[in-house]
Amino acid sequence: EGYFSDSAVGQAWTSAYVDGLPALVAWSSLPIGRWAHVHLELKRPVSDNLNFMSRVNSGTVQPVEGCLAGKLAEVYLWSRHLSADEAIFV
């Protein structure tokens, strides 16, 4: 449920923000060709892998679909919900 790729988005994600603005929880919400601040929220805690920019079958390390070329500058994980102000300035 915690995958986010160009071919599919898992059911674990509840909301998304791109550059501080609310966006659809969909790959098409992400800008192409430029850096963007992306904030995703989960419905509940997960005990499995989170995959961003790929979708991996359980039990394997090989992407099966939706593997994208790109760069991530930083990744942060919190165990609590962030306020809108906190999410914008992270």
Residue 18 has pLDDT above 60, yes or no: yes
Q: Please write the tens of the pLDDT for every residue from 58-72.
A: 555 555 555 666 777
pLDDT at 24: 92
Taking residues 12-39, what's their average pLDDT?
88
In contact, 68 and 6? CB cutoff 8 Å: yes
pLDDT digit string (tens) for 33-63?
A: 888 888 888 887 777 777 777 766 555 555 5
CA torsion angle for 44, 29, 38, 50 (degrees, to 10)?
40
Residue type, 27: W
Which two three-digit tokens encode residue 56?
A: 């991996």
